[in-house]
Each structure stands twice: as structure tokens, then as C-alpha cells.
Structure 1
Amino acid sequence: MMQGILWVTLVVTVTLATAFSDPSDDDCLDIAVIGGGIGGAYTGWRLRDRGLSISVFEYSDRVGGRLFSAELPVAPGTYLDFGGMRFRASVHTTLNRTATEIGLTIIPFKQGYGIPDETLWYTRGKRMRNTDLGTRRVPYNLDEDERKDPDILIRELLKNNVNISSSSFLSLEELYSLTTTDGTPLYKMTIDNFYGRYASREAYNYVLDTSGWAEAVGPQGALKVLKVYLPHSGGTGQSEEFQTIEGGMGRVPQTLMEKFLKASASHKLHLNHQLMRMEKRQTGGYNLRFRKTQTTEGVTTPVQTSTSDVTMCARKVVLAAQKECIQEIDFPEFKNNPEIVKNLDSVLGFPAGRIYLAYNTKWWKNGNPDITHSKSDLPNRQTYDWSTGTNNVSIIMASYHDGDFAHYWRELSQFGTPIPGSLPGVNAVTDVVKKRAEKYLSAIYNVSQADIPEAVGGAMMLWDKYPFSAAWSYFKPGFDERQVRDVVYKPSPSDHVYIVSNSWAADDMQGWSEGSLRAVDAVIAKYFSG
């Protein structure tokens, strides 16, 4: 177990290869849940009291998936969230209700999405405040009608070039009926294509650089931008305060799993199991062939031995995993059906990552006392004044990035040695990563790199490798998510195999834990209600 990782003690049943080499019908589980993230944990918890034998199989040695929290020992009383870190109670209603029901404490997430008056923008070598956006002080050669706050600019580009007839909330039916001024269905366009038609190249760069996100532009469907920047059913509610969980968001799946396991002796958790193949049984149900894995300091790899594969039987299978993981499972009923293959490949994944650094002083506040957040065009993209331990050691989220920048930091992380006070293994910050991050922080906060004190600790996580090749997903152009989602919940009508994943989530929830929870609820309501 990694030092400082928050973990709920779980009763784990370890399977043996010889015990399941040829399972009989009597050995079949009622339900096998593949994936121990929040989707898998919530599935088990929702079905816990139905008298079923349910096992959850997890690729790694921990529960939580992308809801992963850690305590940094050099700053006691603090926690770091490497994946999901916030939610809105009125929008993410399932998460809010579930966290309350399982006894977790919900607290304010004070950093929000970045408070405008407490946010610093740094692009093209220039520092800007909120009042500079949309003025001639921004370092972009914008057309006069583009010289606006970037959020306002995007909204006006949409309103002026798409046949939006209502300022009220838009349903999915209305969204998919929208066309551009030349009659092109908006959902068939990429975001880049939309900007290419209706904005200057400088406006494109302005939006990209000031958004803080690589996914503000790109090859995903243009409807994504409209969903974020215009009212619609199920929007993210930009004006509402954010919440989080005391002790880290990782406590949600951990607590769900703990309560699932305690509900019945027939409920099991099998860590370090990778589902490789599913085969239909003549007598009904499925043989599930797993490869055993091993996890060393957070890095999980297959066990390459002749006895590393085990076979188990299940009457129903719930796949609570990312798109890429599901696509890699050898299941002929999926692989040999072109329509299923197409629908599973309907979304694009975006990798992301975070880097935290700890110091004995909040040096980034020197000359910036009211700044809690920054956005820049540098590879660290966003920063947050994170938290302070009981020993007055303070933590800055030195980088919150997505897209190709995850690969940039991955390459750097292969060099150097872990800094003192760093979390070990996959979460280590090397001296090379620290130095590069401080170079960017120096520029953003206008503090000489020579005046930055020595870091006393750090941690990082990159969501760019199997089983998390991406941090979130968005629909590709040309796909109608309403039709895709109905298929993805139960791709093969003749099979009892279901998918609960936020990769295809509804209502702009593909980047939120709420998306997984809603998928679970939808599948249970439709297929497990009897």
C-alpha cells in the first residue's frame, strides 16, 4: 500500500486459478461487475439487498478508479484529489444524495471553477486580470466584433451562426435539430470546423488559451461547446457553488464498496483481475476469462505465467469501465457486430493530469495576495492555491492539464529522481518535473525562479494509460447520442451484458462522476427492475 493513500479496509476474496478452471452452472455468479471505480461500486451497492451473488472485479489493487484521493504526509490534514474533485449538489443530484445516504460529509469546494476576481490569466507572456478580458489589453489581434470576454464571444458565435430560436433551456431533441446558417446540422460538425467557419484564427487561439482546457477546441462534436455555453436541460449550472467530500472524493467509491461487501456474504471483491474474454455458455450465462495482474507502487501489469488466467461464470455481466477497456474485451457478440463496434467507438477520450507541490511558504502569494487560480497557455495550463496542513505546509496544484499536455508531462516524468516528501511510485514527482513546473509557475506568478523555495513534497497523476487512457470523453461529430446511449446500455439485445460508464453519459456528464451513477440507475431501472 502506498504511503499516505486514503483507503477503506475491505474484505477481499482472492480467487485461485485452479478453483475456476471449469465452472459449473451451480458456481455461476448472478452478476459479475467489471470495474471497481465509482460505477462498479455504485452498481454493487444499488443491488446489494436483492439476494444475489455479486462479485466486483478490479484491474488494479485499489477501489475508486478516477476518484482517487491521497493524503500528503508532509502536510498533515490535507488531501489531494487526482481525479474528480468537485460537484454541484443541484446538478449532480445522484452523487449528492448517495454521498449523504452513505454517511459522508459534504463540504464547500472553495476554489470553485476558479473565481473570476481571484483568477490570473497568463498568455503570450502577458499577465491579465478578469477586467482585461475583452479589451485591447489582451495580446491577440482580434477582429473588433471578437474583442469580448471569451465566454461571451463563444455564446455570440453560437447565437449568430446557429438557428437557436429560444433563450430557454434546450432539450436534446432541440439540440439535434439545430443547423448553422448555411444549413449544416451542428451535430455533424467538429468544434474546429465551427470555429474555422465563423471565427478568425486569432479568436480560435484566444478561446483555446484563456479557457484553460485543450478540449475547448478540437475534433469532438460541436454540440459539446453549445451544451457548455448555452442553457440546455441538464447543464452544469455554472453559477452554483461547488461541493466536495471531506477527506477526498475517493471516499465515495470506497465507502460504497465497503457497504456492498458488508451487505451479504455472497458479495465479493476480486482485485488484480483483468477481463480478457467473455464466452457464451450453452446452458446460459457467460464464462469470464480473467488474467491476474500485479500492482507495484501504483503501476499495474499482467502476470505473465501459465497459471495467471482464471475462469469464472456469471449469468449477467455489468461493464463499469471506460470505452477503451470495453473495446479491448474479446467478446464475439460485440466484436462481430459492426453496429455495436461503431457505437462503442462514438466518443473521443481526452487524457489529463495533475501535479501538486508543497512548500513551507505560500511564495506564489507574493505580489498576488488575492489570486487563488490561474489559467495560462503554458503546459501546466491551470493552477490552484490548494490547501495548508496543520503544520503550515502549503500545497499548490501546480498543473491541471488535459489533451496532449498529459503526454508532455508523462515524458518528463521518466527523467530524474523523486523529490523528498514525494508520494512514491506512479504518484512521484521527480526533480525534473518539479523544476519544469516551477519554471512555468515563476512566469505566471511573476516570481523569480531563483526565489522559489525548495519544495518539501509533491505528488502527481496522469490519466493517459490503460485502464484510464482518458480522463473524460466527448461524442464525435455525426453521432446522435440519444440513439447511441440506448444501444450502449445493452449493446446486444440477446445478451445479458450491460454497460454503465460515463464515457457515453447524458446531459453533459461525460466528465463527471454523476454520469456513471446515472448510467447505473438507467440500466437497473430498465433491466434489473423485475
Structure 2
Amino acid sequence: MASKERFLERRVGSCRMIDILMAVTLGVTTIIAIILIAAVTTSVATPPKEAYTDDTSSDECLDIAVIGGGIGGAYTGWRLRDRGLSVSVFEYSDRVGGRLFTAELPVAPGTYLDFGGMRLKKRGHPILTRTATEIGLRMIPFTLRYGIPEQTIWYARGKHMRNTDFGTSRMPYDLPPSEMKVPDVLKWNIFNKNLIFLDNSTMYPTQDDVLKMRTVDGTLLYKMSIDNVYGRFASREAYRYISETSGWAETVGTHGALDGPTISLSYPVATGPPDEVMTIDGGMGKVPLTLMEKFLNTSTSHKLHLNHQLMKIEKRQAGGYNLKFRKTQTTDGITTPIQLGNKEVTKCARKVVLAVPQRCIQEIDFLEFQNNPEIVRNIDSIVGYPAGRIYLAYNTTWWKTGNPGITHTRSDLPNRQTYDWSTGTNNVSIIMASYHNGDLAHYWRELSQFGTPIPGSLPGVNAVTDVVKNRVEKYLSAIYNVSQSDIPEAVGGAMMLWDKYPFLAGWGDFKPGFDDRKVREMLYKPSPSEDVYLVTNSWAKGGLRGWSEGTLMAADVVINRYFQDRK
């Protein structure tokens, strides 16, 4: 048992957590930790009240158990905060935020690094925009956008290209004239020329129309993979061209063709000004941290349980569910099960919200899901893409040598994309040296097991080793046309790979043969007879599977549809 009062300050990964442990009287000694959830990114003004408790052995049944302390769990708790309900959030690791994770390098305080979500669309993400404003966060322009074409270098097959080189003979691709196009135009042409439109007069087919579309050889498009489409209607060189210049693994692959370039079936038509790309002052990680703080401060019946992994859901004869948790421990950002002592706890809840990604849901032992083949099939409808980022810090912007107007690069090398991230007030310059997804996350994971952390690196799971640094600098030297020997010594680094439990992927696409609308509608509440709900962007519509907005949209649907009985 911990002492009745103690103050412990510790760093875990790139997160600093301040735990104040105290005993509560009333005849029972209960340990309550008041956590200032501050992930180096943010300083929460008012500490949450009774933020964390280890007392999960109580027989009292929660009204709602929310599984997952990312933005989905934090937002769900915040939405339900003032309804007179007892709500607890259970998080696998020791930090709040999930894939919204922001940190600082020791050598560059005040310069925020986002390892997951790093931007939002002001008009395209109305729930996130509205919520950030309501909880008092300041949105600022994300000047890097998605890479500005005029400020981008493309590097493929050993050749540097600029935006104006695409679609010309200056590209290092042996394409016939019909495929000598800018990549987005080529993708649109492949689909436009080889699909039978139900109504050729419309540039914006409905979802029902899209599901009825057939290729010119009579195959339903939604049953095809994107690779199958390219295999039938494009040259192999065009396939490689699209893959190597896109910067993303999912431009090609085994996922459904409807999640490929058909999103841009209306490519030639543009309406209105481009959407503003914004971020949060202090990093995107402030969103879930602030939501969680406000949720916890609303009522003493609201709790946050860190280091709890949900293993099993069992129905109770008296109603509700017994939730079986395994306790975990986190050291330097690496979370593992506790091997000794009291390592399993059970908690009762009347309703359960699973605010976690697809693969995490698949690993929960819940017979009511596992015994229903249709639920299993729909949960398995997504192909996930691991993802990652690597940041390096220097005392000079060496990559600007000969490239003064460049802020972004795309290449066919294993670091795929780079961004000229920021130069802070102390003149330390940071480059996002790699932004990659797909199998490349495993490539960098393997390399990270070798060497030792470089000076100024974040510790543990976020460490950049000398082996990783040297390899990524090899690619940077080719992309920016700077000799590797002329690259100065890095003064810091950080990386994050979204390829392990509970994430296992940064985002995903639907497999062939699924109507995403039907899947999504079913999975909000997979079993009509069970009070278990899914709040995640894993099955969100369109491109929202890669954005926080998809999670918030799912939470709003579940709350508005199923949680209106008590306010």
C-alpha cells in the first residue's frame, strides 16, 4: 500500500505525469491519484478531481464503462459528463490521447511534435472544430498543409522532379502517351474510361450509384480491389508510377477499389476555396487531454483508470456486464502486462463503449460478438495500415542548402515523405525526416532495435538510435542532394510507430465486397440485444478513417441514438 500522501514526478516516454497520491478517510482507506495529465505538450490549468482510482474491486455497477483513453474515449466521457451518470474511462497505457500524441524534444522546448494526428480541416471537420473551440483551445494555421506542390520535391528512381515535370518526358517512367499524366489525373482517367456510369450526365454519383457501377468488362467495382483495377486497365509501369510518387501505401493494394481513386471521380470539378488546414496551438494532443480534464472535473463519480487492459466481457444474470481487466505497467512509453501481484480486476457496467481501434476490438473475448458470424465478418472488413514518423533536430536547416523554397518531399525511398517542420525560438530546426505507412513501419521498427539512442533523443519507445538516424540521413542526402558527410550532427530526435497493440495501424480502408454504410450502421451497436457500442473511426465514411473527425462522428451517433434515456 502506498503511503497516505506522496508526490511523484516522473517521465514516461515523452510524457510527464504528476501524480499526487492521497488517502481518503470515511473509514475506508482508498488511494486516489489526482493526475495532471500533461504530455509535455500542454499544461492543464486545473488538476482533475479524483482523476484516477485503483479501486476497481467495488461491486457497485457503473452506468457506463468507456474503454480507451484516446480522443474517442475522452470525447465520449465529455459528452456524457453532466447527465448524472457514473462513467469511468479505462486506458491500456499510462497516458491519455491515443494517436493524438504530442511531445517536445529537450533541446527544443516550445516546439511541439505531433506523432499521430497533426492537423484538421476547418470546414471538413466541423465536430472537432466546434469541440476545440468550446473547450477553449486555440486553432492556428497548419502552414505545411499536405505539401504545397510548388514547394515540393519528388524523388523517384534516383531522379529529382518538380511539380512541372509530371506528365512530361522528364519523368523517369516509360509510359505510353495515354498514361503520361499527373498522377491524380492518371488515376481519374483510369477509372473514368473504364467504368460504366449509370448516368453520364452527373459528375457526382450517389453512393447507391457507385455500388452499382461496373467496369467495361462487366465486373461490379465494389467487389474489386484497387490492384485488380490497375491490373486490368493500366500498364504495370503506370502502377509503379502511381505507387512510387504517391507517398502512401494505400494508393495501391488489396483494399477495395471504392476506397481508391474513386473518391476523386469528380476530379475535374472544383467548387469553392480550398479548406483551411489548421492545428491546435500547443499540439493536437491537447484536445483529448483537455476533454478528459473537463470530464473528470464535472463529477466525483467520473473516473479515469490508467494501465487497464480489457480482456473479457461477460454478461451478468442480473443485467449489465462484468469487465475483466488485466493490469499493465508502462515504462518509457512501453506498456506490458504486470507479471506479479494483483494483476487482474473485474468491474461491473450497465453499458460498455469500446472507443478503441478495430484490431483491439478483435482481441476482446466477448462471446456475444464472437458467436455471431455477421458481426465477426463486419468487424474484419478493414485493411489496416501501420504508420510512423521520425523527427530529427539540428542547429541548422542544412536541407535548405540549394533548396530554399522546399517545405515538403515525396520519394520512393523508405522515408517516403518529409516536412520542414519548424525552427524554434532557440534556433533549433526540426525536420520530419520520415512520414510513412504500410510495411515501412515494420522496416523502421526492425532498425530501431539496433544501436543506441542519439544525444537529445526522447527515451524508450520514442527513441531514435544512431542506426535509425544514419539510415534516414542516407535517404535525406539523396532527396535533398546534399552529401551525407555534409549533414551536421543531429542534436535530438524522436519517433513513433503505430504498428503494435492497441493500435496496430494508423488508419485503414475497406476490403472489397463491403457496403461501408451497412457496416458502419451495424457496428455502432453490433448486437441489438446488447448494450455494447463501438466508437471509433475504423469504419468511418470516406477519408475520415484517417482523421479524428471520424471518431467524433461515431461518438455523436452512438450518444444521440442510444444514450438519450438519462440526462
Q: TM-score, normalised by structure 2?
A: 0.90
Deviation at 1:139, TM superposition (A): 0.4
Q: Which has the higher contact order (CA 8 A, sep 6+)?
A: 1
Separation in 2, partners of 1:523, 1:480: 20
Q: Give the equivalent residue in structure 2 for 1:467.
A: 502
Select 1:290's aligned residue among 296, 321, 325: 325
Separation in 1, partners of 2:285, 2:408: 23
Give yes or no for contact 2:454–2:464 (8 Å, CA) kept in 1. Answer: yes
The SS at the match of 1:390 is: coil
Separation in 2, partners of 1:228, 1:362: 37
Deviation at 1:240, TM superposition (A): 2.2
Select 1:181's aligned residue among 189, 211, 216: 216
Separation in 2, partners of 1:241, 1:209: 28
| Residues 212, 243 of structure 1: alpha-carbon distance in 2 compared, 3 angstrom cutoff | same
Give yes or no for contact 2:75–2:555 (8 Å, CA) kept in 1. Answer: yes
Moved more, 404-413 or 504-513: 504-513
Separation in 2, partners of 1:396, 1:199: 36
Mapping of residues 435-454 of structure 1, within 5 Å: 435-454=470-489
| Residues 305, 242 of structure 1: alpha-carbon distance in 2 compared, 3 angstrom cutoff | same
Q: Give the equivalent residue in structure 1 for 2:111.
A: 78
Q: Give the equivalent residue in structure 2 for 1:245.
A: 280
Moved more, 370-379 or 483-492: 483-492
Select 2:102's aligned residue among 56, 69, 75: 69
Deviation at 1:230, TM superposition (A): 2.8
Deviation at 1:239, TM superposition (A): 3.2
Q: In the alignment, residue 144 of structure 1 is paired with which amino acid?
A: P
| Residues 237, 141 of structure 1: alpha-carbon distance in 2 compared, 3 angstrom cutoff | farther
| Residues paired across the two proteins, number | 522
Q: Give the equivalent residue in structure 2 for 1:28.
A: 61
Separation in 2, partners of 1:349, 1:406: 12
Deviation at 1:76, TM superposition (A): 2.4
Separation in 2, partners of 1:73, 1:241: 31
Q: Give the equivalent residue in structure 1 for 2:298.
A: 263
Select 1:151's aligned residue among 166, 175, 184: 184
Deviation at 1:183, TM superposition (A): 1.9
Does 1:399 find its partner at 2:438? no
Separation in 2, partners of 1:96, 1:237: 19
Which contiguous aligned blocks of 4+ residues in structure 1 show a shift greater than 4 angstroms?
7-11, 235-238
The SS at the match of 2:446 is: helix
Give yes or no for contact 1:167–1:231 (8 Å, CA) kept in 2. Answer: no
The SS at the match of 1:99 is: helix
Moved more, 293-302 or 502-511: 502-511
Deviation at 1:473, TM superposition (A): 1.1
Deviation at 1:14, TM superposition (A): 2.4
Q: Give the equivalent residue in structure 1 for 2:90.
A: 57
Separation in 2, partners of 1:468, 1:386: 25
Q: Give the equivalent residue in structure 2 for 1:431.
A: 466
Does 1:317 find its partner at 2:356? no
Does 1:419 find its partner at 2:458? no
Deviation at 1:294, TM superposition (A): 0.2
Deviation at 1:180, TM superposition (A): 1.1
Separation in 2, partners of 1:36, 1:197: 44
Separation in 1, partners of 2:121, 2:130: 11
Give yes or no for contact 2:259–2:542 (8 Å, CA) kept in 1. Answer: no
Does 1:488 find its partner at 2:523? yes
Separation in 2, partners of 1:450, 1:236: 48
Q: Give the equivalent residue in structure 2 for 1:513.
A: 548
Does 1:12 find its partner at 2:47? no
Q: Give the equivalent residue in structure 1 for 2:493.
A: 458
Q: TM-score, normalised by structure 1?
A: 0.96
| Residues 167, 137 of structure 1: alpha-carbon distance in 2 compared, 3 angstrom cutoff | farther
Separation in 1, partners of 2:245, 2:276: 22
Separation in 1, partners of 2:496, 2:205: 36
Deviation at 1:277, TM superposition (A): 0.5
Using the aligned pairs only, state the percent identity: 68
The SS at the match of 2:455 is: coil
Gaps of 5+ in 1: none
- 1:402-421 deviations in Å (ceiling 9; x for gaps): 00000000000000000001
Q: In the alignment, residue 391 of structure 2 is paired with which amino acid?
A: Y
Moved more, 305-314 or 331-340: 305-314
Gaps of 5+ in 2: 1-10, 16-39
